[in-house]
Amino acid sequence: MNEFVERQMKLTWRPPKKAYDVVIVGAGGHGLATAYYLATRHGITNVGVFERGYIGSGNSGRNTTIIRANYGIPAAVRFYQRSVDLYRGLEEETGRWLMHQEKGILWMAHSEAAARTERMRAKLNTEFGAETEFVGPRRVQELCPQLDLDGGGRWPVLGASYHPQGATARHDRVVWALAEGAMERGVDVHQNLPVEGLILEGDRVAGVRTAAGDIAAGVVVSAVGGHVSRLAAMAGVRLPIRTHRLQAFVTNHYRQQFGPIVASSELFFYASQTARGEMLLGAEVDPQPSFSYRSSHDFVQQVCRRALYLLPFMSGLRVLRQWTGVCDMSPDYSPILGPTGVDGFCITTGWGTWGFKAIPAGGEQMAKLIATGEVPELIAPFGLDRFARDRTMADRASAGTH
Ligand SMILES: Cc1cc2nc3c(=O)[nH]c(=O)nc-3n(C[C@H](O)[C@H](O)[C@H](O)COP(=O)(O)OP(=O)(O)OC[C@H]3O[C@@H](n4cnc5c(N)ncnc54)[C@H](O)[C@@H]3O)c2cc1C
């Protein structure tokens, strides 16, 4: 626990009850947001959140914190725009400074084909509610003077889609604010208490098994990030999810003038500057499925090589820190959330490399589903049944690095 959490947060730790109306497995952003919105929007507070490590110890505390809604299919644009809007009001709502900062995101085009794609993205985004425009090289340079528009002679910047609402927020502050908001309304959060099994009554999931005993539940929600295949299998649910490593790193401080977030789908990397002044870089997932948290030198080497074409000033910086998370990747690069076909068991998964931005809307919609028993319109296209119905939500290009 850091000083901010210890000194400032109002957290009430209680022992687990024998039964809850709702048990949420995993205290990452999605589990905690579901608990928070159940308590704040629906008055449902008999909720237990079980976390095997500490709050935010999964990907919610390891990501590069980019928030945006410039997706590639209408249902995703609407959903992520809802999340962008909720993030905008979250500091005021929770009374916590989440270091939310709108910086804008520039998505570079280095070829005519990519420029066409970015123009189309801008049109589609605008049509479905997310502000995005295509801008030429001169405007790109105004927004980010550090960019080499020649791309080292190999990757010229022909333009970019510009999404001014692109933002970042401090990831651990987000999860702790949601935890605090839920706990002060009566939700129990239990750290260091893994769910080891599910209690099945006939065809129904009726609770969870933990080292503190069996806990009965009206509904069990799986929000376990990359570990979902194992938990879902306990309920007899087979998911189209593969777990892959995703890495990121920061450099030492660079003078505080790097304004927007910069991404290139052709060079497979994105970069932004943290509040501390470090340059923060990420890229695509490792191609090989894995549950390993080991970081690799190869990743840093490859990303640096690609980033230097556009950001040559970085050659004077040093890599300070590198880390890894394990991502729940769906085949169509869209989330999977809602009922599973097993009574009493819901999932929020498939958040892959893009789920931090989705935390408020994902939690809000899951809470609505649990409270009303109806699948909300906003998430209906993202149900698990879409794979059986051959209605996949293919949106790979929106992951930013594909
Ligand atoms: C390097 C990296 C960069 C990223 N960058 C971005 C970005 O810029 N923007 C963006 O939108 N997204 C990004 N993401 C993705 C984003 O971080 C995730 O999609 C998101 O945090 C998923 O949240 P979650 O709550 O589903 O999972 P997690 O935060 O992983 O939470 C799951 C929790 O479940 C717990 N758990 C697992 N098994 C059990 C069990 N049996 N019992 C109890 N608890 C259990 C884990 O300990 C964990 O705390 C990035 C991810 C990584 C790794």
Determine the average pLDDT of the residues in 99-122.
96
Is the predicted pLDDT of residue 146 greater than 90, yes or no? Answer: yes
Please, what is the average pLDDT of the chain?
95
Instruction: Give per-residue pLDDT as tens, 314-343.
Output: 999 999 999 999 999 999 999 999 999 999
Q: Whose CA is nearest to atom 4 of ligand 1?
A: 63
Number of domains in the chain: 2
Please give the helix or strand (H or E) that residue 133 lies within, else none: strand 133-135
In a domain, 84, yes or no: no
The DSSP symbol for 186 reads T
Structure tokens at 376: 């909300």
Residues 12 and 160 in one domain: no
Provide the residue range defining the domain that includes 25.
Answer: 3-62+171-241+331-399
Comparing CA positions, the residue from 345, 395, 57, 22 lying closest to residue 201 is 345
| 266 in the same domain as 203 | no
Residue whose CA is at the smallest distance from ligand 1 atom 41: 195
What's the 223 CA to ligand 1 centre distance in angstroms? 9
Query: Which phi and psi angles does 215 have, rounded to 5°?
Result: -125, 120
Do residue 154 and residue 302 come from a single domain? Answer: yes
Around 154, how many Cα atoms within 13 Å sit in the side-chain half-sphere?
Answer: 9
Residue 385 CA to residue 340 CA, distance in Å, equals 8
| End-of-domain residue from the set 300, 327, 354 | 327
> Does ligand 1 have an atom closer than 6 angstroms to the CB of 246?
yes
Interval between CA 356 and ligand 1 midpoint (Å): 8
CA angle 381, 207, 244 (to 5 degrees): 50
Residue 324, phi then psi, degrees to nearest 5: -140, 150
Q: Which H or E element spans position 189? A: strand 188-190
pLDDT at residue 291 greater than cutoff 70: yes
How much is the pTM? 0.97
**Mean pLDDT for the stretch of residues 140-163:** 97
Closest atom of ligand 1 to CA, residue 61: 29
pLDDT category of residue 10 using cuts at 50, 70 and 90: confident
Domain for residue 208, yes or no?
A: yes
71-79 average pLDDT score = 97
Question: Residue 255 maps to which CATH number?
Answer: 3.30.9.10
Are residue 153 and residue 217 in the same domain, yes or no? no
**Nearest to 320, CA basis, from 272, 374, 281:** 281
Do 317 and 358 belong together in one domain? no
Mean pLDDT to the nearest integer, 330-359: 97
Average confidence (pLDDT) over 213-224: 98
Residues 179 and 48 in one domain: yes
| CATH number of the structural domain spanning residue 26 | 3.50.50.60
For the segment 9-14, the average pLDDT, to the nearest whole number, is 86
Q: Give the model's confidence band at 401: pLDDT under 50 very low, under 70 low, under 90 confident, else very high.
A: low
Average pLDDT over residues 253-257: 85
Based on the domain organization, do 149 and 7 belong to the same domain?
no
What's the token pair of residue 111? 């070829």
Residue 175 lies in a domain: yes
Structure tokens at 128: 């479905």
Q: Report the alpha-carbon distance of residue 130 to residue 85 in Å, rounded.
A: 10
Of 270, 305, 327, the position where a domain reaches its end is 327
One domain, residues 341 and 313: no
Give backbone dihedrals phi and psi of 7, rounded to 5 degrees, phi first.
-90, -30
What pLDDT score was predicted for residue 399?
A: 78
Distance of alpha carbon 402 from alpha carbon 393, whole angstroms: 16
How far is it, in rounded angstroms, from Cα 336 to Cα 1? 31
**Alpha carbon distances (Å) from 262 to 157, 176, 179, 336:** 12, 28, 31, 28
Distance CA 199, CA 338 (A): 20
Residue 25 lies in a domain: yes
Which strand (E) or helix (H) includes residue 41?
helix 29-42
pLDDT at 3 over 70: no
